[in-house]
Structure 1
Amino acid sequence: MVCILWGTTWVASKLGVKYMPSLQMAGIRQTLGGLCYVIFFLTKGARFPARKEWGSIVVLSLLNFALTNGLSTWGLKHITAGLGAIMGAIFPLWLVVIGLFSGSKTPARAIIGLLIGFAGICIIFGEHLQDFFNPDFRFGILISLAATWTWAFGTLYTKRKAASFNPYFSLGLQMLIAGVILLVFTQLVNTPETKSAVPFTAIPWQSWAAVAYLVIFGSVLSFIAYLYALQHLPTEQASIYAYVNPIVAVLLGWLLFAESISVFIVVGGLVTLAGVYMVNKAFKTLPAVEQPEAEGI
């Protein structure tokens, strides 16, 4: 269920950004999703974080949601849903790169996985060389890559500055804060992406439908299903979604938006996911404190 739901979020986001600015849509999604989590945990008696914990929560809201989700959603304005999903899956490769530059212990298998993953990316872009002359496509790729970097740094920061209270309540607070930041940004900052912000009363039903789907199925139900999987399935099985999500997104993009599925996409995508799998597998052999986390964007 998690594999299907998180895979469909790329297509839902692609649909939503066709009719409204991507950052505005991401802001509405995160605000509503965060409110669902916060209200739920407050009714369960969850306490608000201590003053010293708010700094970490704000940083995580910026890295994991405002930047990662905001940039990846913005990228879908200019690239296909399938390509966006494949790009999103490579963030564990950056954990290896960061580890190499920071002097952390990096397993040889992780380095091999890194090389395989980047080889897969090169294969994918083999058919897109001409597209790089298109500034919109080039911009979409660059901000999608930037989203994977902020996600990687967010993962590392989470491990070093994990909040001492309910992590799931923290997740809701991060989403809510990020949503407010994105909405304020779209109203106050004049950029080609934000100057066309749509009044809430003028947002078309297609975008509202996409937002509703992303909140209900992409943020709430899929996360509940993921927690259930973690509790009832071996970790290896529970984490398989990270490799199935891009496949679901590519297939749905082809079915719904007529996005092309070429040999480059199929072979390059599989090679990239094989590299990501090797990286995740390598780190799972280390002590728990050194394992990077992998989640769906």
Structure 2
Amino acid sequence: MEATSKTTLTLLGAVAPVTWGTTYAVTTELLPPDRPMTAAALRAVPAGLILLLVAPEWPRQWDRIMVLSLLNIGAFFPLLFVAAYRLPGGLAAVVGAAQPFIVAVAAWSFFRERTPVRQLLWALVAVLGVAMTLAPGTQAVDPVGILAATAGTASMALGVTLTRAWGPTSGLTGLGSTAWQLLMGGLMILPLIPLFDDGQLVLSARAVLGYAWLSIVGGALAYALWFHAARSLPAASTSLLGPLSPVTAALLGWLLLGETLTLQQTVGFVLALAAAVLGQRRSGQPVRRRRRRHSSPTSTLTAGGQ
């Protein structure tokens, strides 16, 4: 992969976590309370339909698209919004920053692919940096929120790994695959709404604006760019862009709430950003122990957040 091409893909991929960093602020400030499954479904289904209008395709095989829909959307979105409703954005972000480690384990377990040690070290730096952005003594710990954030991180990490490994899924283009994942994943969420949502659904102007932002910008646009990058960049590199999401979330929190930035938090931001940027540089190709049937011979990655 040429350096210019990788840089462009990395920048495009970075748009997604930066956009997802707005999820916490939008959820708490604009959306009706106690409606996590409604938020998850309304983020996914309209976005999928929008992308299908742009790329009207039909899968030839459904097994892989269903698996990716579940991991990247159907399971991840509900867990994401449960965590967003129950945890401060920064605390949920610390859990999400562990995604590169889960990706590394999944890549080795499924495909015998080693993640370079230097990328694992940058992932560790990212976790440390995100943790340092938390204001001491202000973060409440909700066990359900922590469990949801952890499970959501694992689901998305596995989804990123499989997206990368399977490449073009069921004969779909990248945009078509993203559209079907959003649509099918969103439909999986619909039955959960009456089971888990107990707040009143009030579609005020603020709520409509929030849902529209999450669906069009945080859904259709962000996921189209994310999966495009995930199919063309190493999984570890893609997951190392994740710290951009908590950095954005915390910055918005300070801007919206007028909070001040401490020295510790400033250092944390620098570390997290450095890990996201420098972690993209690779000294060599990962070692593969066995050949993958669905790999593209012309790319290092044949290809899931927030």
TM-score (norm 2): 0.71
For the pair 1:160 / 2:165, whether they are aligned, the reply is yes
Change over 3 Å in CA distance of 1:5–1:108 after alignment to 2? closer
> Larger deviation: 162-171 or 98-107?
98-107
Deviations 1:32-51 (A, max 9, x none): 11111112222xxx3x111x
Distance, in Å, in 2 between the alignment partners of 1:93 and 1:278 is 16
Change over 3 Å in CA distance of 1:129–1:291 after alignment to 2? farther
Q: CA deviation at 1:131?
A: 3.5
Quick one: percent identity of the two aligned structures? 24
Aligned match for 1:62, one of 67, 70, 74 = 70
Residues 72, 147 of structure 1: 8 Å contact kept: yes
Deviations 1:97-156 (A, max 9, x none): 445666532322123224434444554569359844xxx2x3323321221111110011
Cross-structure match for 1:147 = 152
User: What is the number of equivalent residue pairs in this alignment?
Assistant: 272
Q: CA deviation at 1:159?
A: 2.5
Distance, in Å, in 1 between the alignment partners of 2:221 and 2:135 is 37
Cross-structure match for 1:111 = 120
Unaligned runs of 5+ in 1: none
Cross-structure match for 1:177 = 184
Distance, in Å, in 2 between the alignment partners of 1:17 and 1:178 is 21
For residue 63 of structure 1, give the secondary structure of its aligned residue in structure 2: helix
Residues 124, 265 of structure 1: 8 Å contact kept: yes
Distance, in Å, in 2 between the alignment partners of 1:139 and 1:263 is 31
Amino acid at match of 1:154: G
Distance, in Å, in 2 between the alignment partners of 1:93 and 1:82 is 19
Cross-structure match for 2:211 = 211
Distance, in Å, in 2 between the alignment partners of 1:69 and 1:195 is 14
Distance, in Å, in 2 between the alignment partners of 1:37 and 1:7 is 22
Amino acid at match of 1:184: P
Residues 82, 145 of structure 2: 8 Å contact kept: yes
Change over 3 Å in CA distance of 1:126–1:216 after alignment to 2? closer
Cross-structure match for 1:11 = 25
For the pair 1:196 / 2:198, whether they are aligned, the reply is yes
For the pair 1:35 / 2:49, whether they are aligned, the reply is yes
Change over 3 Å in CA distance of 1:195–1:77 after alignment to 2? closer
Change over 3 Å in CA distance of 1:75–1:263 after alignment to 2? farther
- Matched ranges for 1:1-297 at <5 A: 2=15, 5-17=19-31, 19-42=33-56, 46=57, 48-50=58-60, 53-85=61-93, 87-99=95-107, 104-120=113-129, 123=132, 127=136, 131-132=140-141, 136=142, 138-162=143-167, 163=169, 164-187=171-194, 189=195, 194-196=196-198, 198-199=200-201, 202-222=202-222, 226=225, 242=242, 244-257=244-257, 261-277=261-277, 279-282=279-282, 285-286=285-286, 291=301, 296-297=305-306
Unaligned runs of 5+ in 2: 1-11, 288-297
Amino acid at match of 2:148: I
Distance, in Å, in 1 between the alignment partners of 2:193 and 2:124 is 38
TM-score (norm 1): 0.73
Change over 3 Å in CA distance of 1:40–1:101 after alignment to 2? closer
Q: CA deviation at 1:29?
A: 1.5
